[in-house]
Amino acid sequence: TTFHDKICRSPKTELHVHIEGALTPELMFHLAKRNNVKLPYNSADELRAAYSFTNLQSFLDICGVGVSVLITSRDFYDVTMDYIQHAVSDNIVHSELFFDPQLHTHRGIELTTIIDGIERALIEAEQKYNFSSKLIMCFLRHLDEQDALDTFSRALPLFEQYKHRLIGIGLDSTEQNHPPEEFQRLFARAREHHLRVVAHAGEEGPPLYVKQALDILKVERIDHGVRSVEDELLMKRLVDVKIPLTICPLSNIKLKVFDDMKKHSLKQLLDSSVMLTINSDDPAYFGGYLNANYLAVTDAFHLNQNDIYKIIRNGFEASFIEEEKRQLLI
């Protein structure tokens, strides 16, 4: 078998994937019809043609249109199950999925509707495919902290009800001009409730935002963090304290964080011994699920078997799987 086959067949984790970003054009049109929602595109192909992004915001704008078809618990089940099918065929054995409740509650969808649907799919995946998973509730940075705090308070009973699945919070959406420090109280509250904490930082934003996520939000992992290479001291700190980065190579190219894969900072991060992982972010929008991301960086940087095994192993080590279970998976 070829090296590519070996990579594809290896059991892997995925630690950075958004459920809303797993909504394929086909499923979007199917749900639009089922729910009588009018989309501003005539077909899945026409929609796909609109997926030429200039930056993070241009993606967030289109993604916002897409989520309007998610209304019932069954819709959230369907999009989660669609992702699971892809994940299983990419040999992912454990995923930590983000969802953005505010994208839905602000359209009048109940929190329980969202989580019930997602949870049904995840339980079925566990039974059918032995697929392990955790859920992380993400908050939108372009809205203010009070909105996040209100959402968090309303979600508290769900963190209790689903405590083995819904294990933490994250921070996403527009990064520029929305520094992590604005969400200090939210993250302090989450930590008081013994939740795991992560944040998107250093995707489009400066290394300062990565430092704020670590110092002020006290996150355990950085989502993206690819601009950390611009700050030598921060790089040393990431290595010394072993802070995992969840890197999404195809996402970074599609959203023009780097002009092309050869210019991606992943190689420099790897050579500096930063604990990085490879993930798909919003696979239905960025042209590839997890294996496609692995293969793209393998080819761009001529990565060898040691590099790949190290990255795959990092994924298991950086995951929030229970310690007893982690030993069984590795």
Kindly list the catalytic residues. Answer: 203
Q: What stretch of H or E contains 87?
A: helix 73-89
Nearer to ligand HPA, 21 or 180 (CB): 21
Contact assessment for residue 255 and residue 261, using Cβ atoms and an 8 Å cutoff? no
The answer to whether 18 contacts ligand HPA (rule: CB under 6 A) is yes
User: 95, 105, 173, 280: which one contacts ligand HPA (CB under 6 A)?
Assistant: 173
Residue 72, helix vs strand vs coil:
coil
If residue 247 lies in a helix (H) or strand (E), which one and from where to where? Answer: strand 245-247
CB of 98 to ligand HPA, least distance (A): 7
Does position 56 interact with ligand HPA (CB under 6 A)? The reply is yes
- Of the candidate spans 38-46, 132-140, 208-216, 275-283, the one that interacts with Zn ion by CB under 5 A turns out to be 275-283
For the bound state, the minimum distance from the C-beta of residue 300 to ligand HPA, rounded and expressed in Å, comes to 19
Burial of 177 (0-12, 13-18, 19+ CB in 10 A): exposed
Among 151, 251, 291, 314, the residue binding ligand HPA under the rule CB under 6 A is: 251
**Shortest Å, Cβ 290 to ligand HPA:** 15
The CA-based dihedral angle spanning residues 243, 248, 253, 258, taken in that order and rounded to the nearest 10 degrees: 0
**282 near ligand HPA (CB under 6 A):** yes
Query: By Cβ distance, which residue is nearest to ligand HPA?
Result: 172
The residue among 59 and 316 lying less far from Zn ion, judged by its C-beta, is 59
Selection from 248, 228, 257 nearest residue 296 by Cα: 248
Interface with Zn ion (CB under 5 A), residue from 96, 100, 175, 281? 281
Q: Could you count the other beta carbons within 10 Å of the beta carbon of residue 258?
A: 15
Where helices occur in 228-329 by DSSP H, the ranges are 232-240, 249-254, 266-271, 283-286, 290-301, 305-317, 323-329
- Binding to ligand HPA by residue 281, rule CB under 6 A? yes
Q: Which residues contact 182 (CB under 8 A, 6 or more apart)?
A: 141, 144, 145
- Give, as ranges, the residues between 199 and 228 that touch ligand HPA (CB under 6 A): 200, 203
Binding site for Zn ion (CB under 5 A): 281
Per CB under 6 A, residues contacting ligand HPA are 18, 21, 56, 172-173, 200, 203, 251, 281-282
